[in-house]
Every structure is written in C-alpha cells, then in structure tokens.
Structure 1
Amino acid sequence: MISRLLERLKLRNTRLSSKLILIYLLLTVVPMSLLGYLSYVQFSRSIEEQIGEYMPRFLYQANSNVEQRISELASLPDLLFNSDDMIAILRRDEEQSVSDLNKDLFAVNSYMSRTYLAGSNPDVLAVFLLSKNRLFQSSKVAYSGFDRDQAIAPYRYELTGLVEKPKIILPSETTLKFQNDVPYILIMKQIADTDNRRIIGTMFIAVQLTFIDRILHDFEKNDKADLWVMNRKGERLYHTDPELIGTFDPEIGRYPILSGSFRTTGPGPDRLVSVTESTELGWVFVHSIPLRYLTEKTDLVRNVTVFVFIGVVLVTAILAVVLSLNITRPLKKLSRLMKNAEMGHFQADHSLQSRDEVGSLARSFNSMITTTRELIQTNYRIEIRQKEAELYALQSQINPHFIYNTLETIGMAVEEQETDTVVDMVTLLGRMLRFSVGNKAKAVPVSEEVQHIRDYLTIQKYRFEDRLTFDIQLGADIEKDNLYSPKFILQPIVENAIKHGLETRKALDIQIAIGKELSFRSGKHDVVYRIRDNGPGIPAERMAELEEALRSDTHIDKDSGFGLSNVNARIVLMHGPEYGLQLHSIYGKGTEVIVRIPARDGTESAAESGGGRIDSEPSRGEE
C-alpha cells in the first residue's frame, strides 16, 4: 500500500534516504495520531456505556418511587372511613332538602380540606367527591371546568358496578384547569361501602406533579439533561422544561426500545437517550443528554496525547535520519557495483563486515562476481568442443536485471520496515545465486530446478504483489525416482510469461505441473513440464514464427539471452530432436508451454555428461 502511495506521489525517483525518513515519520505520526484518536473515542465510548448502563437503573428506581408515591396518594380516599359522619353523609339518599344538602356540603368540604389539603399532603391540589349526584370539593388553587355536567360526566359509570382499581386521568382527558396552568394528574378511586356492598361515591384527587420533579432530581442533577414522563401515546405528563408539559413526543414511535439506552442522530446534536417503562402506570420515563456534555473531561486526555505525540515525532525524526543513512549507504554502494556488473565489469569487490541481510547479500554478490569472472577466464584459456561451450555459456548466464530489480524491491521493503520480507527475499536471492553459480553440472535434480523456479516466482511475487499468483504441482514419482533435468529450463519460460503477461494484464496467474508421462514415440517415460499462464496469448502470425524458430534454431549465441529458443536449443543439443518445447496458445486467453525431456536418474545423467559432477552443492574450491 505504501509503495503504491509513493508511486502516485511520484516519489520513486526520490533518494532512498529521503523515503526512509518519510516512512519513519509516517510510522510515528500515523500510529500516534491513531492512538490519540482511539484513546479519545474509547474514553468517550466508555463514558457513554457507563451512562447508558447507569441511567436505566436510575430511571427504574425513579419509576418505583413514583409508583410508590402514586400508590400512597391512591390510598387517601380510605381516610373517609375514619369518620363515621362522612360515611353517613355518603350513604344518604340524594333527595334531601336544600338546607340539609348545604350542611352536608359544608361538612364534607371542611373534612376534605382538613384531611387532604393539610401540610402532610403538599402535592394535593384539590379533592373532588361525587356521590349520588352530589359534588363535594375542596381546593388549594382556583380552578375551572370541573362539575357534574363537564368533567364528571365521562366517569359516571364508575358509580355503579364492581369496585375498580384507582385510575389516573390526564389533563388532556378532562376540562379541569387550575390557575396558572399548574400541571397535575387526577387519581380517581371509588368509595365502596363494604357493609352495604355498594359503591357510595367516587373521589378525584388532583395531584401536582412536583413530586415527580423531586424524585427525578434526587438522582440526576445535571442541568444539561432533559427528563420527562409520558404515556405510551407520547403525551408528556412531566418535563424539566415546563413549557413542554402537555405536549407530545413525536419520536416515541421510532424509539427502538422502551427499556434501556440508545443513541439518536439527526439534524440536532447526537444524544444518549435512556428509557424505562412502568408496567403498572403505563408511563415511560425518559432521560436525554447531548453526548458532547458527557465527554467534556476528555479534553485533558486529548491535550496530553497531543504533547506526547509531538515529543515522539521529534525523537523519531532524529532516529529516522540516523537509521536511514546506516541502511542506505551500503545499499547504494552495492547498487553501483550491480550496475557495473550489468555493463560487464567484473573486477569490483564489495566487502561488508556486517552480518545482517545486506552483508549476506553482498557476500553472495561477491561469490557471484568471482565465479562469473573465473568462468570468463576459463572460457578464454581453454578450447572445448562447440557443443560443450554452447551449453556451458547458456547455462552460466545470469540476468543482472533480475538481481537489480530484486534489490530495488528489497530496498522498497526496507523503506516500508517489512523486516520479515527483506529477510525472506535476501534468503531467496542468496539461494538462487548459489544455485546459479555454485553448480557447474548441466543436469540437476528436478526437485532443485523446481525449488529454483519457486524461489524466483516468490521474489517476483514480492515485487508485483497481487498482480502475480502461481502454483507448482510436483508429482510424487518425480522425487521418488530422483530424476534429473537440464539446468535453467524453467526460469526463461516463466520470465517470458511474466514479461509479456504483465505488460497487458493487471493480474497474471502461472500454473506449473511436473510429472512423468509415457512417450508414444519411444515407449519410454518422459519428464513433462507444463507451464500455463492467463496472459495475452500469442497471435497466429507470431505463433508461426516461433514454431519455425524452434524447429530450425539448434544453436544459439551466448549473448542472445534466455528465451524459448534458448531452452529448446539446449534440450535438443543434450537429448536429441525428439525432445524440446511445444507451444499452445489462444490469443487473448493464455499460453501453455510443454517441455519434454527423457526421464533419467543421476547415474544416467552423469554418464551422459562425461562423468561430471551433478550434485547441486558447490565444492570447496567453488565457494
């Protein structure tokens, strides 16, 4: 990801030390920024979770207290039974003289004033008693809209029949209004004469909602929070903002839950809402607070994080400069030597005393240069047969471009601090170099040739990342029979597939299968390599040219490089014209290259090579 970002920013041509410094800074700035952000978010989230867990419990307790207070108020009508005179008045028939009626009204009103409106019941605003078409009333505050023909009419049915539970009447359900619009609720309870087994009246107790305010504020003292109580229809019976009492909550239909906490988002500030429902009263208690007020104390954590972040950036910037110079200095020297070797200068020697991956790579490079120089000198001193010279030259060539590109990829991995990747690539490259220069035999075990191409493809995979995928299937009978193969016959084919495939494809897939097959020509078993790719394919005209070149070109120049003709020529020179390469390609779909060689073990390969050594490990003189 970082390499693609650098490419987009056109930083590939920037000095490696500058890119390392930039990467080090990014590796400090980004993590510390994320640390600060995550700390702030986590702290804010923990506060939100704590409030979200605490508030429902608080509301549940407040709900219980409100239910208990309502239950206490609902038991007030039972105080009538403490006075025999009051019960006697309620038992009288409604047909009585005006004088007697006025006496009863005065007596009952006075009793209710003394009993219900005294100091022990500060929340009671007024008491109304309806009995046999008589209305008794006593109030602390002036009121209107409550008489037998108005508010009482809807509840006349309560005067007969079975005794009902106390009922709560909301202001919206009656025309009763108190002076200054004091918020209230009506508790209605029937008065049952148990001796005569009949209902003798219904009492209405107007209760001021200040008791809810006291209960809720005993738990929540944050003036930034909103508390309200509403019924299931959303009508607010109580609200910390008195102007909202009696209004409706338009969001109740969209509440995801009625017991717990949730976050709201919308045009206004985000809020944390906690709710709990009273099953006994049918009320919903709601606590709502803007989230920004929950995280006011996180400013200190944020400020400390910023100061720590600045300090770490300064320290790591100094370390980045020092480390980048230590890393890039030997790489720059090694890169220059690689370019000299690419131009044909093999006299350079790069000695590093370090034992890290760069030092290992330098020593492998020295070994490669030394071996290459010795091979060149030997070719000039000794005259050998043309066939042996051609095979030796073809087998001994090494592509400096591949090594240079690999070093570039290693350099990018160092920039990205991918230590494991650097170690793996240096190890793979070292093993490839040892395989390339340490074995003078023309034939090697098939397993080693496969290991070499697996190392090559793995390095290319590090370079091209997701653009390249591959799979290698080695038959069990190949390793079991210890079969041998000419050296370097897979790499040129795979190089060719990668070169042409990635020029036109965003992604390339290479499949390699190695197994034994029976030859219909000779009746013997052959080792067959099948290399398939999903590249652009080969046009028909170009396909004809390649097949003609494979049939006619049995000798190839040393400077011609690795390629299909190179591999085919070597196999034909070693094993005869019945072996070699076959091409199958569909333009726009992909290409398959089939390599066929005789299935021979180590003894036969050594005899064919003139008794030469065929093991893959170098001798002491070659190391």
Structure 2
Amino acid sequence: MIFRKWRGLKFRNYPLVYKLIVTYILLTVVPMLLLVYVSYTQYARSVEEQIGEYMPKFLYQANADIEKHIQELTTLPEMLFNSENILSILRRSSYERRSDLNKDQYNMNSYLARTYTNGRNADVLGVFVVSNGRVFYSSKAGFRESGWSQTIKEYAFPEGEPGKKADILLPADLKLHFDSDIPYVFIRKPINDNDNRRNLGTMLIAVDLSFIGDIVRNFETNERADLWVMEPTGRIVFHTNRSLIGTIDQDRSRYPVLNGSFRKSVDGEPAKLVSANQTDKLGWILVHSIPLRDLNERADLIRNVTVFVFGAIVIAASLIAIVIAYNMTRPLKKLSGLMKTVERGDFQVDLKVHSGDEIGTLARSFNSMIATIRELIQKNYQIEIRQKEAELYALQSQINPHFMYNTLETIGMAVEEGETEQVVDMVTLLGRMLRFSVSNQSKSVTIAEEVQHVKDYLTIQKFRFEDRVHFEIAQMMDDRDLHAYFTPKFILQPIVENAIKYGLETRKALELHIAVSEEFGARSGKRDVVMRVRDNGPGIPSEKLEELEQSLKRIGFEGRGSHFGLSNVNARIVMMHGADYGLQLHSIIDKGTEVIIRIPKIRGDELQHAENQDVDRG
C-alpha cells in the first residue's frame, strides 16, 4: 500500500508548473546560487575594505573644501571697506535728525542687499551689521521672533575691542530662528577700522549650509547613505536628513576613531560602515554612514553576469514583463504628453484612466491638480480684475471732469476771496489723493493710509459743500496698529461716495461718522479690524436692501451698476481673505444707513508672505 502511495507521487504525475520549477531549481538555480554566493561574499568583503580605506580620504578632502569655503565667507566683511560712503555710515556715532538715520539705514541696507544677498553669494542667507547701537541688515528669510533686531545686538562683539577674531555661532547657541528649515550657522566677525585703529561694529553672516550637500554629493551619490557634520560634542550642524539637524549624535562618545572607518552594529538595525574625519581649525567632524547591505549592491554586477548565462530560461517571463510594461507605460506616456500640453499653458486636459491601481491613482491626482490650478488661476484673475477696477474707479472718481470742475471752481472762488490758506490746503489734499491713486501699485495699504485718503476726500467735499457736510473719524485703535495692519486698497472711498451722493439728494445737512476699531469676529473666531461708515441719509428701502445683500453674495465679476462700489469692495475682501469677511448693511428709512467692513488683522510680513504664495501659485 505504501508502494502504491509512493508510485502515486511519481515526478511524472506532478503538474507541469511544478515540473518546470523543480527542473529550473535543479539545473540552474542551485549552481547559480553557489556561484553567486562565493563571488558575492568575496567581492563584498573587498568592497568593504576598499571603502573603509578610501572614504576617510574623501571626507578629508570634503572637510578641506568646507573649511576653505567657510574661510572665504569670513572675508566678506572686508567688502565694506570698498565703499567710502559705507565707511562713513559705520563711523558715524550720532544723529541730529531722525531723517539722517533713516537715510543711512536705507543706504546701508541697500548696499548689503546688492553686495551680499542678491545672487552674488548664493550661500549667504542674511547679513546683519551691528554698529553704534544700530542694526543694518539684508536677509532672504525672516526670523520667527518679532524682536529679533534687539536680540541680534546681544551677539555683537563689545565695541572698542579690535583684537577679536571671527568665530562661528551655531543655531543651538542662538535665541533666533529663521522661518525656513534651511540649515545654517552664523559667522561672527568684528569690523575693524585699521586706519583709525578702532572697532566699527560686528557683522553676522547667516550661512546656508546646503553647500555642504553639494560638496559631499561629488563623491557620494547613494541616496541611502547618511552624511552629517557635527561639533566635537556631537551636536549635528548639517545632515542629509534635515530633521536631524540640531540633534545630538548619541553614539559620538563611542566612536573608536575620529579619522578612519569602523563597523557599527545596533540591535534591530542593519550593520553599517561608518567613516569620520575631523577638521583641524573648526573642529567639525564629517561622518559618512552607509548600511553594509547597500554598500554591497555593487556586487550585483557579478551576480547579474552569472544569471545572464541562464537568461534563456526566463525568456517567457521576459515576454510577459514586456506586455505588462507596455500596459503600464502606455498611460504614463499619455500623462507625459498631457503634461507637455499643460506646460504650454493649456489646462483644458483630462487623463482618462479607469484602473484601480497606482496608475489610476496617479491619473486622478493629476486631474485633481489641473482642476485646482484652473480654479486658482480663475481666482487670481478675478482678484486682479477687482483690484484694477477699484483703482480705475477711485482714480476716475478723483479726476473725472465733474469732480475736478467742482474742486477747481471751489479753489477759484477761494482765490478770489483771498483765502490763501484754504487754497493751499485744497491743492495739497487734491495732490495727495491723486498721488495715493497712481503711485502705490500694491493691492493693500496700511489702515492709516486708507483712513487718511478718505479723510482728504471728505475734507475737499467739506470745502465744497461747507455746512451741508459734516464728518467725524474715530480711530479707536492704537496709532501704531493703524500703521502696522494692512487693508485692501480703496474700500472706504466708494462707500463714502455713495453716502454723499444719496444723502445730499434728500438732506440739507449730511452727517458722516467713520469708526475704526478692533472687535471679535463670530465667524472668524479672531480679533478683526472693523470699519463702520454711518450716515443720516434717507436710508434704503427693504426691497432695495435685500437686493443689495443678494448682490454682495455674488462674488463673480459684475459690470458697473448703481451698487458697483459696494459689490466691488465686498468681492475683493472675500476673494482675498475668505467668506468670514466682507460687508454688512444696516439701514432704517429716514434714519440713515450703516455699512460695516470687516477684515482680518494682517501685518506687513504676513501680507508679503501671502502675496509671495500667490505669485508662486500663479
């Protein structure tokens, strides 16, 4: 019975797929594995020995290049002595007028930008000069800390000590942090005036350490290899994995050598070959670490040569692979063609792939990305149209013949009556309004500038209508906040114009109250800036008020109409800051109307960051 069972298990009775597998293993796989194992073992040992011998030499050369580059950067302060104007600014210790200080600040900052941060020195992240209590700077990135200028003074060398030499400040030694995650250090060097034998101040150069990656990339292209630079204490200054910059290498104290190679084994992790080299001047340690299994990938060449002898056996699999590869690459080629179409500016494309694999996921992501780009382009286009329309609207309101005629006629009457002071005031106001309209190309201005513009407009109307127009502007915010926070340009004047236009039609005397305050927003959940424009005009009928409120909800572009000013202002605010902000209307017949403008609190640096993101997306 056992014999019958054994006979039933004869090789010829197995399925064909099993026969092929067994035959393949017996005739090819086993001999090949033996050959590959012997060759691979010998070659891997040879590679490890060679890398362990030559890698420290490469690290030594890389360290020399790093030290040389750092040394070159320490000579940058000497460029200040190429300009007599800059030297005179540094030698100046006091000012009689604030304007002189501002002028020196502008000249010095411009010189620093031209000389150090505008492309000539790609590795210079920022330059800061502390001299006689002043801080001059030019930087490609801002600090997270608001009071950075006062903090930067703490790291300056004491004045009057010309013997100080350049040194390096690490991010861990500073109380300042850049907004970006770029690895950096500060080179601190005194500015010594050899002609007068005195110290003029201190220059702190923020150096982008990304150049280290460019240096080490010349001799290491394996993406799985780790390269880092650390202090003698083990604190990492630069790492190919940026998340580890600033951390401590806990194994530093267990390094057997600082100029050589050694094996490193940690429980649960693959063994690694570690090579290190320490610089003579900086004392920095450049470390290269690569898993041994990745290091031995080069031995695959020998294995592949051996496998090639038996390549005829895998022809069938190769044919299948060709078919599969063709099916996979076909949608990828189509995607490549569509991406070239998008590159030429045509975003009306659609990649139709209905599979549920990674290719299908990629196609859906591509379509979603194109749809998002189209939406962003449309949004930015709407914002630009609204902005240009608002500028044109405000400019036309100021220089249209009727406005100019009435204003000039009022000026002429004042001249005839000998009211010279009033004439000067009106001409000054008119000039300032025109300059505000045509000179500032930004989408936003400070709240103080916007309020001043509408105040100038109302003052001219006051000169014209005399006792028929009364206005009051209440600024319930700190004056510094009015100059610090920004608002979209031309949002008050259209509302004030509407109030005067409709108010004087039915009122002998129109009273306008404008208030600027800071209030909590129920929608935004934040402290917002609120501007209120209230008049004692005829009010708005309920049907007309409802129509106005409905028009404010339509954010798309509309032609000029009776409520163009209100809808334009509301649309620009919503497009720039979201649906939590915009206009609100309150009106009572024969009592008056109140328009409430709600915008977020945005400072200059936040506004610049947002505009840069819009430019990048565009």
Task: Note whether the superposition's TM-score is higher than 0.5.
Answer: no
Larger relative contact order, structure 1 or 2 (CA cutoff 8 Å, min sep 6)? 1
- What's the TM-score, normalizing by structure 2? 0.42
Computing the radius of gyration from Cα coordinates, the structure with the larger value is 1
- What's the TM-score, normalizing by structure 1? 0.42
